[in-house]
Structure 1
Amino acid sequence: MSERRPAQFRHLGPVLYPAGLFMQKAMADLVRSGEPDQILVVEHDPVYTLGRHASPEDIHVDAAFLKAAGIRVHRIDRGGQVTYHGPGQIVVYPVCDLRGGRRDVGRFVRNLEEAMIRTAGDFGVTATRLSGCPGIWVGDRKLGALGLHLRRWISTHGLAFNVSPDLRPFGWITPCGMRDKGVCSLHSLLGDDCPTWDQAADRLSFHLAETMALDPLAVPAPSLSVSATTWRRTLTGPEVLVMLRQPVEGLWWSSVTGMVDPGESLAEAAIREVREETGLEGRLLPLDYAHSFYIDPRVLEIRAGKPHFNRETCFHMEVSPGAVVDLNLAEHSAYRWCSLEEAEDLVLWDGAKEAIRRLGRLLSGQ
């Protein structure tokens, strides 16, 4: 048996797709510098991704339909054509150094497929390879997909394993360019006996370590932050408060965000941040959404080194229409009340945009 290579498995849970692309690039730079392989285990928001060989015609619905369905489209640098990612699907990005004696892409692909096959088997599903069709299959239905990118023998992108995603979006595309085959999931095959996302992710990580001869290393827990999208009712509809960071803070528009202090609950941290940043009070409610992201050291002006991940939990707070904003000038230089659409366009970070979109769906009753 070949020598096991150290690797850090990071179970990050929900990650917005652009944040996933960014963290892959950052981890590729880290691995290229000699750090251990990084295995990122995530769950994405609904997106279609178009690989290098994809055509817009592979998506069979128009932009209005996609907007109503909450599906975004990203063209990316992996191989292959169009596929779907969404909640209930495990996406694994094995950012690995294939230099030296590991320069065998075919073996790398087979190892990823084998890990998915073994994971399916753990839950009583027999999956196989299909000649000429990457991924794993149950009959003529794909259970797990593959799409890789190599740059100077550092791998990015990876695999998608269907636990319990909504399968309808696969029907609105030509998945992976295949018109005569279908898609399945553990849930479509097992019904109520389907494992949870976490259970399947744990088994998939175990099998990846075995098939790829990886030695999992300890990883630090992510830091914790909160966001509190603060809004008010008006005669023309809801308005969201956005604030402009001071130039030394980056000069970008944001909603209320902040780190969780030791001993605080997430809700306590959100209420404190609203009070400290705006002077406002209101009723705090959860948006039932949390997501993880990689923190670029350049943004926070911290020393580059070990990768730093953060998990942000999102809330919203309705305040009185006549409430007066008492802006914290140490952090922000200006503020605006905006429509949901204007606020989404103004804020810089994808997490803030997603929180505003979720607030909009909540207020519209969707």
Structure 2
Amino acid sequence: MQYKLPVSVLVVIYTLDFEVLLLERADHPGSWQSVTGSQDEGESLRETAVREVFEETGLDANHYGLVDWQVQNIYEIYAKWQHRYAPGTRHNTEHVFGLELPCVLPVQLSPREHLSYKWLPWQEAAGLVFSPSNREAILQLPAREKARG
């Protein structure tokens, strides 16, 4: 069995007016999140982010404003996903990226990963995601944009 590396990306996809894209997990209906995924051996974090965005939404992140927010979250791997990692691996390091789009765009879901998607105002999106680190990243959007000027 090929185990996942305990290094992942979280990519918050949003528009200029802070509409945020959320995806509903196929393996846990009712659980909403931004794009996430584990790094493959030999990939840079940016390459992981670009690959995961394409696999999960059909969007090419290279055509938009993909930014590494230089934020890392270390968290305990949820028990329900522990089997995906090598025995003894308990923590994952998540690297946060933002992907700014000019407007709401349709996405093409990977049916094995996601059931549906929706675009929501940032406050609503933050309230719906199940992951605390995903919630925190979404809540940072207005301040990040203001700082960027």
Q: Please report the TM-score for the alignment, with normalisation by the length of structure 1.
A: 0.36
CA distance in 1, matches of 2:126, 2:49: 20
CA distance in 1, matches of 2:108, 2:10: 18
Partner-residue secondary structure (3-state), 2:13: strand
C-alpha contact 1:232 1:318 (8 A) present in aligned 2: yes
C-alpha contact 1:287 1:359 (8 A) present in aligned 2: no
Aligned mate of 2:58, from 268, 271, 279: 279
Question: How many residue pairs get matched?
Answer: 139
Deviations 1:233-261 (A, max 9, x none): 2xxx2101001111xx1220000000000
5+ residue gaps, structure 1, are 1-221
Partner of 2:8: 225
Letter in 2 for 1:267: R
Q: How does 1:21-170 map to 2 (within 5 A)?
A: none
Partner of 1:242: 22
Q: Please report the TM-score for the alignment, with normalisation by the length of structure 2.
A: 0.85
CA distance in 1, matches of 2:33, 2:143: 20
Partner of 2:135: 353
Counterpart check, 1:324 vs 2:106:
yes
CA distance in 1, matches of 2:104, 2:70: 27
Percent identity among equivalent residues?
A: 34
Aligned mate of 2:45, from 250, 266, 270: 266
CA distance in 2, matches of 1:343, 1:268: 25
C-alpha contact 1:287 1:355 (8 A) present in aligned 2: no
Letter in 2 for 1:359: L
Aligned mate of 1:302, from 83, 103, 119: 83
**Higher alpha-carbon Rg:** 1
Deviations 1:38-90 (A, max 9, x none): xxxxxxxxxxxxxxxxxxxxxxxxxxxxxxxxxxxxxxxxxxxxxxxxxxxxx
Q: Quick one: structure 1 residues 360 and 310, their matched pair in 2 at CA, closer, same or farther if it must change by over 3 Å?
A: same
Partner-residue secondary structure (3-state), 1:268: helix
CA RMSD of aligned residues (A): 2.1
Deviations 1:147-175 (A, max 9, x none): xxxxxxxxxxxxxxxxxxxxxxxxxxxxx
Q: Which has the higher contact order (CA 8 A, sep 6+)?
A: 2
5+ residue gaps, structure 2, are none
Letter in 2 for 1:231: Y
C-alpha contact 2:82 2:90 (8 A) present in aligned 1: no
Post-superposition, which runs of at least 4 consecutive aligned residues in structure 1 deviate over 6 A? Answer: none
